[in-house]
Each structure stands twice: as C-alpha cells, then as structure tokens.
Amino acid sequence: MSERPCCVSFDVGPSGFQNILYSTNDVKTWYDAVSLQLEKPYSRPDYNQFGWGAGLTFNYAVRSLSGVDGLNDLFSFPNTIGIPKHPSNDEKFRVVGNWITDMPWLWGIQWSGLAQFGGKVRYDVGCPGRFCSNYERGGFTVPGTFPYRNVDMRLRKDFAHFGRTNQSFGVTFDVFNTFNHDNLGCYSDNLGSRTNVVNGATVPNPNFGQPNCTISDARRYQLGAEVNF
C-alpha cells in the first residue's frame, strides 16, 4: 500500500498549483476601562517659599478574549469555537502617583518620585493542550493586594548661575526600585507536568502557579549632571 500525500485529491502537476491550506481564527477582544486622575502642577508662589506638585491616577480595566487564549498568539488554539469569551491574564487596576517638592531647609535640594502599584492578577490556564477539543477553565491568582510595586526617587540640586546669566548647572541622584521589591513573573500555568503511562491520567504539576523570573530590575543607582546654556 503506497502512501498518499496529505491534502491532494487531484494531479497538481499540470495546473502549476501546490497544496493550499486555509484556516481562520474567529478572535474577538473586549476592553473596558475607566481612569481617574488628580493633579496639582508644580508651582512656587514666591521665590523664598518652596514649590511642590503631585499627581494620582487610578486605572481600572477589564479585558476578555474569545477564540484564543493569548492575545498575541493567534495560532495557539486552532479550534476557536471551543474557546468562549473569558477574562484574559490582566491586572484589573493600577495606581500611579508622582510628586515633586523643594526642600529649602536641606541645602535647596529638590525631591521627586514616581510610584506604581499594580493590583491582583488572575492567570487563566485555558485549554490544557495545543489541539484540545474542549476548553477547560482553571487558573490561579497572584497573591498580594499589590503584587507589582515599584518606587523611583530622585534628588536634584541646582546651583546658581555661572558665567553668562543664562547658564545653569544641576546634579541629580536617582534610585530606581527604591525598596528593592521583587516583581515576579513567568508563572507556571501548566496544570499537568506529564501523562502517567499506566492509567493515562495527567500528573499535577508541583510548580503550578509558581514564578520563574522577575519582570523588573533590582535596586539601581544613577548619578548625573546637567548643564543648561
């Protein structure tokens, strides 16, 4: 018995055509969000007084997918009809704050910063296999009220004009991830580690829901200088 090539039902040689594979992904996305912002621009009422400014932003968003699990992986699950609308792997809310203030009592140093706090994230493991026929829900929630936390700070000192009157000099000292928080990622979302050869059952993955990397740098320092002319 001779093997027959896949997907060929006629002599393709004389026509000049080869096999044509056609596929489609009926993918839909939903994104609903609201953002609230409070801001006080930096200002200095008087030269002898200190100036300050601050801002606070709250974002709440919900994103859902249909026909696919990974938004950027359109070929992850070919049977789109088996993947109904479901929440994607997103954090629902994030709080971002910023501030800047003069400190004339501390040699005229200016202090500023940016703080970001990301809310809970639920990971949906979705379909257990690449070509599975039934969509199965399951997942885990990253622990902590704010799993993602990052605070950057800067100290700046401006010196008096020198040389020409339009020249100025400043020194900055930055600290990134000031509190050295470990923002974890690369969570293991595989429910089963392997298939038991005896009864065919899937053996639970002992590392399910565990992080395998960090998604931000450790604490870093930066010293800089600025000349304006």
And the tokens for 138?
């399951």
Predicted local confidence at residue 133, as pLDDT: 47
Q: How far is CA 210 from the centre of its chain?
A: 17
Per-residue confidence (pLDDT) for residue 181, from 0 to 100: 94
Q: pLDDT band at 75, cuts 50/70/90? A: low
Confidence of residue 52 (pLDDT cuts 50, 70, 90): very high
**The pLDDT of residue 22:** 56
Report for 60-64, 140-144, 215-219: range of highest mean pLDDT: 215-219
CA 11 from chain centre, in angstroms, equals 51
> Residues 141, 120: contact at Cβ < 8 Å?
yes
pLDDT surpasses 60 at 19: yes
Say what the pLDDT of residue 77 is: 58
The 10s digit of each residue's pLDDT in 163-198 is: 666 777 889 999 999 999 999 988 877 666 665 555
User: To the nearest whole percent, how much of the chain has pLDDT over 70?
Assistant: 66
Mean pLDDT of 50-68: 89
Share of residues in the chain with pLDDT > 90 (%): 33
| CB-based contacts of 27-31 (< 8 A; 24+ apart in sequence) | 27/65, 27/66, 27/67, 27/68, 27/74, 27/80, 28/65, 28/66, 28/67, 28/85, 29/63, 29/64, 29/65, 29/66, 29/71, 30/62, 30/63, 30/64, 30/65, 30/85, 31/61, 31/62, 31/63
Q: Which residue has the higher pLDDT, 144 or 222?
A: 222
The mean per-residue pLDDT over the stretch 85-99 comes to 86
When pLDDT is cut at 50, 70 and 90, the band that residue 130 belongs to is very low
Q: How far apart are CA 100 and CA 96, in angstroms?
A: 14
17 contacts: CB under 8 Å, gap ≥ 6: none
pLDDT bucket at 1, cuts 50 / 70 / 90: very low
Is it the case that residue 126 has pLDDT exceeding 70? no
Q: pLDDT tens, 21-32? A: 655 556 788 889
